[in-house]
Structure 1
Amino acid sequence: MQLKQPNLKNFVPKDDTGSDKVTPMMSQYLEVKRRHEQYLLFYRMGDFYELFFDDAKIAAKELGITLTKRGKFKGADIPMCGVPYHSSQNYLSRLIKAGFKVAVAEQLENPNENKQQKNSKIFLRDVVRIITPGTILEETLLEPKKNNYLLSIFWNKEKISVSWVDVTTSEFRVRKFKRDKYLSYLEEILFKTDPQEIIICEGINDDQINNFFLKWKHKITKIPEAYFDFQNNTEKIKKFFNTNNINSLGEISNLDICSLGSIVEYMQITQKDFISNLSKLNVETDKDFLVVDKISTQSLEIFNKMNGEKNGSLLYTIDQTLSSGGARLIKEHLKNPLKEKKLINQRLNCVNYFLQNSDLTEKIRLNLNGLSDVERSIARLSANLNNPRDCRNVSNFIEKSLSIISLLETKHDVEISNYLISQDKKESLHNLSRKIETAIVENGPTNILNGGFINDGFSNELDKHRTIKMRLQDDVIKLQFQYSNEVGVNTLKIKFNNFHGYFIEVTNKNHQRLVNEKDKFDLIQTTKNVSRFQTDVLREKSIHIQKSEADSLELEKTIFVELKKEILLMFQDLKDLSEKIYFIDVMTSHAFLSSKNNYTRPVFKKTNGLEIINGRHPVVENSLLRNNKSFIPNNCVLNQKVAWLMTGPNMAGKSTFLRQTAIIVIMAQIGCYIPADSADLCVVDKIFTRVGASDDLSQGQSTFMTEMVETARILNGSTSNSLVILDEVGRGTSAGDGMALAWAILDFIITDIKCLTLFATHYHKLTELLQNNENIILKTLKSKQWNDEIIFLYKVIDGISQTSFGLHVAKIAGINNKVIVNAEKLLRTISKQESSENEQSLSIRNTESPQIDSLKKIKDVLKNLDLDETTPKQSQEILYNLKNLLES
């Protein structure tokens, strides 16, 4: 059964050729296209990839290239366009990004090989691979520092399984979870993996799932249900991973086998000659990692700023890696911070080792600079892309890596013992590297089609063929001088093309001189400006030269294939070495960063709290340092019994302080030193932050609705081992409603969840209500007035902020002075009215108060709210009910 792919944009399948007469080349094209109808077909013809029929129309429009024509089919012109082979990667990239899938048909023989097949009029061509967003291998189409994931999703009534693979690095993972929470979990996995392509079963009848996939439709590829078949996939997976016992891969369920097998099948279909058993499987669970959900990750600007830019994110700030693999690994660490204290300390011990041995670290980083991306080179070799430069990349990686290992051996320590390799492996790898360097030309061709990629001196037989060819070419040069003298034409030249081989060329004004010697010179072609001739001697030389070239090319290909086999036989050793080297890159990156920015090692002695002394926000500090300014550090001491309730003027640094606390915990749990004088932490299982408003207008959700949905997610997902950071809860509704919700939410966290909590609010009355609560510590940001100006000191202190200094901030922002003056007058009037009014105080201790009764009802509603089972319409109804409770 052939895999059915999604229809191309505007694609209409061609009719069969029928009885129409077409050229042999077009007949071959139609046969190849018939087998790959659902893809744009890049058809190699000489130095170009040609596209025909609707493919040509689509490509010409998408790429902005000229649409022309070539021949006729069923009485109509055949549309055609083409792109140069040498620059095809740019065009492929644009088509892939536009959502197309491309089948690449290569010319599978060279002119000399073709001429030896007397009965063949055209070159042999066929599709060698299909390029889809999730199966890209070409270096120019990939982002070096980013994984390129292909992801598969399969589910039943109880559970869902998600598998994903990066075919460029042989990284294969699977994760499953219960279906009752599947949409939120699935959202998180898709956010963290950021797959380039998602394969799912066609014909889904579940409306909820179909609605969920709408936002991912530009990445979805639907495949038949047969490719998720359990029985077929069991054997397929065992063969792919080269194992007789599927249980040896880890704790994988029948559902996992369905999703894994679909990926294996899809890879083999698109890669054609993809070599299996190159990957190991990682079975993941959330138990191993600190969970930072999508909203919190975006709020903390871990990978990107709010505007989408990478510059200014946490990753951009702390990533000092020097290799592509190291950059991918540090990003993976940030996606999955550790929860196991032992593993965290192992990483911290490594960072400490490299800090203590700064000279060694510097030498290692010199070797890391310019390190080849061996994972992706091996992936291309295993997929038969056959780029000789990938062999040289393997050699480069081996030599630089062995130099790093040798440096580590000079200062051996238990902390880095796991990253050394045995002497036997070093010798085997070194021998392979030397063989590659001896065999493969440096900066040679990027394919093996036309030869010239094996060094002279590597093979005696190859050198013999090349010597014969050079002697014959010298004979041709001598013949040129001989024929020129015989006919008296100084401009006579001997040239070569694929059709005629070697031939004599003269201008037409000298045509007759050679015709007069017709017993010796045979006229083979006349053009507008030149005439071309051959002789029996030249024909014989041409045949011998082309035979020596063909023999040389065949031998070069044989040498390359054998060398590639040797490389792939050492795949596991190379994979193990790359994992060690990339990890060393990350650890030396942390050490370099820590030394440069004066970071310190966190300790994990606490069981239920954190104590950060003089903590700093790494991104903000980095920005200030570039402008010769210093960051004001702050302490943060939390435990599960006491929450911090913070107030403070706008622009005083409150949000920065909240974010830096979460970021410091994340940095510590990836095994990185932190921006603080010291930190004694407990290991947290989840971090939830809600800092700043974020309308979700695409889903019809206002600022307040979005705030409530995110808050419900936090209340439902937090445990006593979590860190929760909430800023300005309730500001999207009226003051009364907002303050009541803020109180109820904070009370629920303190009394029910009992986790580490930072809670910032602009409701000053809330601090008055809670100032005597033993579970609350009131904090604010220090400021002072000077000559009618407000100076923010960015220091967290005990106390309550009495004003938000909103007018001062408006003035700084450039609001018209008349507006500011009028606002100040009105503010004074309002303040006098409030001071003269005898407002009834809302006392938290009066449990009989109807207001408190309403607040407790609100708390109960929030406590029992299941976000994953609540539709947007139900959420709106719940909000109306909450509002009615407050108004009553």
Structure 2
Amino acid sequence: MMAQFLEIKEGYQDALLFYRMGDFYELFFDDAIAAAEALDIALTKRGKHLGEDIPMCGVPFHAAEGYLLTLIRKGFRVAVCEQMENPAEAKKRGSKSVVRRDVVRLVTPGTLTEESLLDARRHNFLAAYNVVRDEAALAWVDISTGAFRVMPCPPVRLGPELARLAPREVVLSEADYQNCAGIVTESGASPTELGRAAFDSSGAEKRLLDLYKIGSLDAFGIFSRAELGAMGAIVEYLDITQKGKLPLLRPPVKELAQGTMQIDAATRRNLELTHSLSGGREGSLLSVIDRTVTAGGGRLLERRISSPSRSLSEINARLDAVRFLAEQRQICENTREFLRNVPDIDRALSRLGLERGGPRDLGSIRNGLAAANDLADSLSQSDLPAKLAEASANLRGHGDLIELLDQALVAEPPLLSRDGGFIAPGYDEELDEARQLRDEGRGVIAAMQAQYAEHTGIGSLKVKHNNVLGYFIETTATHAEKMLNPPLSETYIHRQTTANAVRFTTVALSDMETKILNAGNRALEIEKRLYSSLTTAILDQVGAVSDTARALSEIDVATGFADLARSDNWSAPTVDDSRVFHVEGGRHPVVEAALRKTGEAFVANNCDLADGAKSADVWLLTGPNMAGKSTFLRQNALIALLAQTGSFVPAKAAHIGLVSQLFSRVGASDDLARGRSTFMVEMVETAAILNQADDRALVILDEIGRGTATYDGLSIAWATLEHLHDVNKSRALFATHYHEMTQLSDKLDGVENATIAVKEWEGEVIFLHEVRKGAADRSYGVQVAKLAGLPDSVVARANVVLEALEKGEREGSGQKAVIDDLPLFSAISEPVQTAPAGPSDLHLALNDIHPDNLKPIEALNLLYELKELSEK
């Protein structure tokens, strides 16, 4: 057995080998040590008769999926090795023969299909990247849904595209692995190296032709050598991991970079599109706007948010669908009720195609197609816009398949075919007979006994059973002569004579005995055969079923957007080919949702860019910390993104000229793993924007230059704004604390000042969160520090320093002279030996606490309270 294990393991050195032994998967040697630690299970040692103790551990076969998920999430690959025969078959080759085993599947992050291993509302992409001389391409597939796409992708775009798709695994050639593995890892995917031959375009084309059983790929489009190589590598890798059982892949669709809004990884992270900065879904844009009720709709919505369209016709078709459903509330609500009954058709189809499905997947297909048919009937009574009409047309055409599955399956099929019981009574006569024998064997024998008693005229005749004869007919010895002579002897075959009885059998009884004893297995075998035929019937119509699944997802996203628009008071944007960016009463959807939970209202604001002579291309935004500058910047970026997704937007009105690229440099974080400071990260992200943004881009920049010395930072921010205005010519929102930059509005025609309004009352600052034209005269940083909970002593000292610096600036004194004149902090913090007179809380505190025992900060707080008392 160990020789067999080692031989199989030799071919899977980079994976843990799950070696099937009866009801367990066993792991040995280093695999066992690694798995025991990762899974937190017991590690044992066996095999002293072999001369050494072999480390080993195991997991139950029936619970293997949970362990697989843990291992995959921790970066392992798992080779699943199954028994290919039963022990009886092995013994035919010799008493010491080992049961034949082989790897039936290589489980990797990008090749999961099991429902329990996947997030129902997210795609699980496997990608392949291929560079061929001066061209490169990225292909990706979700084998759990069949989606298959490819696009040209120069190396500079690899990081942003991986950020958009968020694949779990990326296949790279030996030649590209060294250059690209780091980018893949940074995106959160697992890089996998594959031989260069897998990326050869000629071999790739042949693999694709064989996969789709066609003579030419021309019907799918024209593909470059790099694109063919990337797609072929995916097919080759799937063939390796799935052991020849290729999934049901839809024909590949070629995407173009110009077809979607370009968003880099930093912008996606800063805007928290699908994940919040903490890493989870909660708090992201997607979590707030997701009103879909199907798994397929949830996946489509995430794709839309990750890849907003740049096609005006597509955007406006989506908006027309949402507008219709928002206005026709009853239709929208009825449609959502139908959709709630729709299971995950795509993933059920995929599991059936890979022979990993079960009766429940057959039930999912049946229920999903039935719900689609009912929905089509409901929508047929309405005059639908083009997008919904197209989707509705794809809901029909499955009447025969629905009827077949409805007749064949019980209402609630079990998960596994080996459990049986999923074929409905009355569907198959042979199965019904087997079940009757299995469940009612005694009744059948009793009926035969009555039949034989009537036939022979012997009322005392019995049908009995023992382990030697099986079922037999028994009469007393007094009836022996009658039974042993014609005509009864022609039917009843003598088996045994005892002192008091004579025993017989019949051909019918022998046949019935065989049927009864084998009825359970026979019933299960019949059900498995019927399961196979039903699966084939579904897969014969896989294209049409997939079209229906996509149509249901399309309708789900549209109804979800309509429901969101009605409940949250969102409006339909105007999207055209201009450069206008006009938002009236815009709001941040995530912040507004958070405030709503506390009963607070969000303060809406306008934004007006590039609207002819009325507005500038760049708004220079000043104002205090905590007043809402970053929120204002982000909300306008999200409004543009939502509009091009095909959604209504959180605003009273919006006119969005197509945005080609969306860039965001908001927030501060370091990258210690790569040796980058906060300021370095800021500069790298800013450089990417200035090097790539075009005149159709929307750029939001916050606090450029704040991570370095004041004059260095000011000069960088100043030059960055000038470059955006003069060279990139982008629409931009630029927030800064460098008030000196407000002078640029006088120098650059396309720059306009805006500020966040605040009010002061009795020394306190009140944030109004209103954006107004004009410039701020101060940042209120010290007040915000006080709100944050800095000790009063520090806040007071900061005010002293601030007043001195501002006075020096007004009087023209040099900064050094001002600092030299400032008294040191310690000058006002001499030890207090006695408490002031009077019955104050301070007096009591000083009596209770000896000055020698005070912590420095406590002493300083007391000193400042003393100072205030003496002034009063």
Counting only pairs closer than 5 Å after superposition, residues 299-338 of structure 1 correspond to structure 2 as 299-338=270-309
Residues of 2 paired with 1:802 and 1:560: CA distance? 76
Residues of 2 paired with 1:134 and 1:540: CA distance? 52
Residues of 1 paired with 2:572 and 2:774: CA distance? 31
- Cα deviation for residue 41 of structure 1 reads 3.0
Structure 1 residue corresponding to 2:764, chosen from 789, 794, 798: 789
> Does 1:381 find its partner at 2:357?
no
- Cα deviation for residue 674 of structure 1 reads 0.6
**Aligned residue number for residue 23 of structure 2:** 47
More divergent stretch after superposition (556-565 vs 582-591)? 556-565
**Aligned residue number for residue 593 of structure 1:** 564
> Does 1:353 find its partner at 2:329?
no
Residues of 1 paired with 2:330 and 2:241: CA distance? 47
Structure 2 residue corresponding to 1:420, chosen from 382, 389, 392: 392
Residues of 2 paired with 1:95 and 1:539: CA distance? 53
One-letter amino acid matched to 1:452 = G
Structure 2 residue corresponding to 1:200, chosen from 143, 159, 172: 172
Structure 2 residue corresponding to 1:666, chosen from 641, 658, 672: 641
**Aligned residue number for residue 554 of structure 1:** 525
Residues of 2 paired with 1:207 and 1:34: CA distance? 25
> Does 1:82 find its partner at 2:58?
yes
- Cα deviation for residue 146 of structure 1 reads 1.0
**Aligned residue number for residue 774 of structure 1:** 749
Structure 2 residue corresponding to 1:625, chosen from 577, 581, 596: 596
Radius of gyration: which is bigger?
Answer: 2
- Cα deviation for residue 285 of structure 1 reads 1.2
**Aligned residue number for residue 624 of structure 2:** 649
**Aligned residue number for residue 845 of structure 2:** none
Residues of 2 paired with 1:31 and 1:50: CA distance? 15
Structure 2 residue corresponding to 1:823, chosen from 798, 804, 808: 798
- Cα deviation for residue 554 of structure 1 reads 2.6
> Does 1:170 find its partner at 2:168?
no
The answer (yes or no) to whether the contact 2:184–2:190 under 8 Å persists in 1 is no
Shift in CA distance, 282/639, structure 1 to aligned 2, threshold 3 Å? same
The answer (yes or no) to whether the contact 1:273–1:383 under 8 Å persists in 2 is no
- Cα deviation for residue 203 of structure 1 reads 5.6
Shift in CA distance, 35/784, structure 1 to aligned 2, threshold 3 Å? closer
- Cα deviation for residue 602 of structure 1 reads 0.5
The answer (yes or no) to whether the contact 1:240–1:276 under 8 Å persists in 2 is no
Residues of 1 paired with 2:198 and 2:329: CA distance? 53
- 1:646-685 Cα offsets, whole Å, 9 max, x none, are 1101111111111111110101010100111111121111
The answer (yes or no) to whether the contact 2:24–2:61 under 8 Å persists in 1 is yes
Residues of 2 paired with 1:826 and 1:100: CA distance? 57
Secondary structure of the residue that 1:792 maps to in structure 2? strand
Residues of 1 paired with 2:444 and 2:679: CA distance? 86
Shift in CA distance, 300/475, structure 1 to aligned 2, threshold 3 Å? same
- Cα deviation for residue 249 of structure 1 reads 1.9
The answer (yes or no) to whether the contact 2:322–2:561 under 8 Å persists in 1 is yes
Residues of 2 paired with 1:349 and 1:777: CA distance? 35
Shift in CA distance, 59/695, structure 1 to aligned 2, threshold 3 Å? closer
Residues of 2 paired with 1:435 and 1:667: CA distance? 42
Counting only pairs closer than 5 Å after superposition, residues 132-171 of structure 1 correspond to structure 2 as 132-171=108-147
The answer (yes or no) to whether the contact 2:348–2:357 under 8 Å persists in 1 is no
- 1:60-108 Cα offsets, whole Å, 9 max, x none, are 3322223346667744455543322332211111122222222224456
Counting only pairs closer than 5 Å after superposition, residues 14-29 of structure 1 correspond to structure 2 as none
- 1:533-556 Cα offsets, whole Å, 9 max, x none, are xxxxx9999865453333333322
- Cα deviation for residue 119 of structure 1 reads 8.7
**Aligned residue number for residue 453 of structure 1:** 422
The answer (yes or no) to whether the contact 2:162–2:187 under 8 Å persists in 1 is no
> Does 1:285 find its partner at 2:256?
yes
**Aligned residue number for residue 188 of structure 1:** 160
Structure 2 residue corresponding to 1:435, chosen from 367, 381, 404: 404
> Does 1:584 find its partner at 2:555?
yes
Residues of 2 paired with 1:678 and 1:819: CA distance? 46
Counting only pairs closer than 5 Å after superposition, residues 842-881 of structure 1 correspond to structure 2 as none
- Count of aligned pairs: 759
- Cα deviation for residue 697 of structure 1 reads 2.1
**Aligned residue number for residue 834 of structure 1:** 809
**Aligned residue number for residue 10 of structure 1:** none
- Cα deviation for residue 378 of structure 1 reads 0.6
Residues of 2 paired with 1:298 and 1:573: CA distance? 38
The answer (yes or no) to whether the contact 2:90–2:100 under 8 Å persists in 1 is no
Give the TM-score taking structure 1 as reference length. 0.80
The answer (yes or no) to whether the contact 1:323–1:372 under 8 Å persists in 2 is yes
> Does 1:240 find its partner at 2:240?
no
Secondary structure of the residue that 1:129 maps to in structure 2? strand
Residues of 2 paired with 1:232 and 1:469: CA distance? 54
Secondary structure of the residue that 1:709 maps to in structure 2? helix
Residues of 1 paired with 2:680 and 2:401: CA distance? 61
One-letter amino acid matched to 2:768 = L
**Aligned residue number for residue 524 of structure 1:** none
> Does 1:717 find its partner at 2:695?
no
Residues of 2 paired with 1:621 and 1:305: CA distance? 16
Secondary structure of the residue that 1:814 maps to in structure 2? coil
Counting only pairs closer than 5 Å after superposition, residues 468-479 of structure 1 correspond to structure 2 as 468-472=437-441
Secondary structure of the residue that 1:830 maps to in structure 2? helix
> Does 1:265 find its partner at 2:241?
no
Residues of 2 paired with 1:547 and 1:661: CA distance? 71
Secondary structure of the residue that 1:410 maps to in structure 2? coil
Residues of 1 paired with 2:254 and 2:809: CA distance? 62
Secondary structure of the residue that 2:398 maps to in structure 1? helix
More divergent stretch after superposition (608-617 vs 240-249)? 240-249
The answer (yes or no) to whether the contact 2:143–2:249 under 8 Å persists in 1 is no
Shift in CA distance, 244/823, structure 1 to aligned 2, threshold 3 Å? same
**Aligned residue number for residue 256 of structure 1:** 227
Residues of 1 paired with 2:701 and 2:280: CA distance? 24
The answer (yes or no) to whether the contact 1:473–1:545 under 8 Å persists in 2 is no
Counting only pairs closer than 5 Å after superposition, residues 695-710 of structure 1 correspond to structure 2 as 695-710=670-685
Shift in CA distance, 285/307, structure 1 to aligned 2, threshold 3 Å? same
Shift in CA distance, 101/470, structure 1 to aligned 2, threshold 3 Å? same
- Cα deviation for residue 268 of structure 1 reads 1.6
> Does 1:94 find its partner at 2:94?
no
The answer (yes or no) to whether the contact 1:696–1:706 under 8 Å persists in 2 is yes
Residues of 1 paired with 2:187 and 2:392: CA distance? 43
Secondary structure of the residue that 1:280 maps to in structure 2? coil
Structure 1 residue corresponding to 2:42, chosen from 63, 66, 71: 66
Shift in CA distance, 33/550, structure 1 to aligned 2, threshold 3 Å? farther
- Cα deviation for residue 456 of structure 1 reads 2.4
Residues of 2 paired with 1:364 and 1:561: CA distance? 33
Shift in CA distance, 839/39, structure 1 to aligned 2, threshold 3 Å? closer
More divergent stretch after superposition (436-445 vs 627-636)? 436-445
One-letter amino acid matched to 1:304 = H
- Cα deviation for residue 724 of structure 1 reads 1.3
The answer (yes or no) to whether the contact 2:321–2:385 under 8 Å persists in 1 is no
Shift in CA distance, 455/41, structure 1 to aligned 2, threshold 3 Å? farther
Shift in CA distance, 115/472, structure 1 to aligned 2, threshold 3 Å? farther
Residues of 2 paired with 1:434 and 1:474: CA distance? 34
Q: Which runs of 5+ in 2 are unaligned?
A: 448-464, 472-496, 499-508, 816-872
- Cα deviation for residue 754 of structure 1 reads 1.6
**Aligned residue number for residue 729 of structure 1:** 704
Give the TM-score taking structure 2 as reference length. 0.81
One-letter amino acid matched to 1:315 = L
- 1:747-778 Cα offsets, whole Å, 9 max, x none, are 12212222212111111122135446433211
The answer (yes or no) to whether the contact 1:278–1:571 under 8 Å persists in 2 is no
The answer (yes or no) to whether the contact 2:580–2:656 under 8 Å persists in 1 is yes
Secondary structure of the residue that 1:449 maps to in structure 2? helix
Shift in CA distance, 703/80, structure 1 to aligned 2, threshold 3 Å? closer
Q: Which runs of 5+ in 1 are unaligned?
A: 1-21, 479-493, 504-518, 521-537, 841-888
**Aligned residue number for residue 361 of structure 2:** 390
Residues of 1 paired with 2:362 and 2:173: CA distance? 38
**Aligned residue number for residue 863 of structure 1:** none
